[in-house]
Amino acid sequence: MGCEDNRIIFENSLKDPYGMPQPTFEYEPTPQFAHECSNMMNDMTDVAQKLGGYLPGSNPQFMTPGLALHLAGTTRLGRGDVEEEYRTSVADYNSQVWKFDNLYVGGNGLIRTAFGANPTLTSMCFAIRGAHKIHQDLKTCPKAPNPEAPLQNTPECWVSWTNNIDDPNFPDHKRLRKPHRQV
């Protein structure tokens, strides 16, 4: 967890390329977070060395906060079963915003912790789960999220394409665009 004072401020006096208020990030890692990052880096480098090391110029490094393109934790999910977690999260694990019956959030911001790799698949899982919840809500009378309601598994039919190579929706990495650079 970060500090309570970590936040995003939208600067009305500064505009981004789209004319929107520029987001400014105020961020201070906790000593525990710094220790966890150090452990993660040590684990990653130990495994990489056992697998044969690194390609030239690709040694692991910590990036300056704000340089990473995969921002996380700005719209955190929570269970809501503990007052502290309810107070420090935005939505339940179905991506439904607390106290709203028709507002859902998505993206990497849902992931409440730092990650060591591209979070796209995790974000996709949350998107599928949120879409399933919206689908269920549209079939019934919409209600605000109940923090004490048990989470339901996403139906297998919604995600079966992710592990069935014969499914036409299965990601075919051979059809992706060619890399712009080869190492």
Check 39, 102, 118, 146 and give the catalytic one.
118
**Using alpha carbons only, what angle is made at residue 48 by residues 178 and 42, rounded to the nearest 5 degrees?**
125
Q: What percentage of the chain reaches a pLDDT higher than 70?
A: 80
CA distances from 161 to 43, 81, 101, 144, 165 (A): 32, 33, 29, 31, 8
Question: What is the band of 65 on the pLDDT scale with cuts at 50, 70, 90?
Answer: low
Report the phi/psi class of residue 149: left, alpha or beta, with left for phi > 0 and alpha for psi in -120 to 50. beta
Q: Is position 118 annotated as part of the catalytic site?
A: yes
For the full predicted model, state whether its pTM sits above 0.95.
Answer: no
Q: Is position 153 annotated as part of the catalytic site?
A: no
Pairwise pLDDT comparison (62 vs 12), residue with the higher score: 12
Per-residue pLDDT tens over the stretch 106-149: 988 888 777 767 788 888 889 999 999 888 887 776 555 566 77
Query: Residue 130 has what pLDDT?
Result: 92
Query: Residue 105 has what pLDDT?
Result: 92
Average pLDDT, the chain: 77
Q: Which amino acid is at 140?
A: T
Q: Tokens representing 60?
A: 């692991």
Task: Classify 180 as helix, strand or coil.
Answer: coil
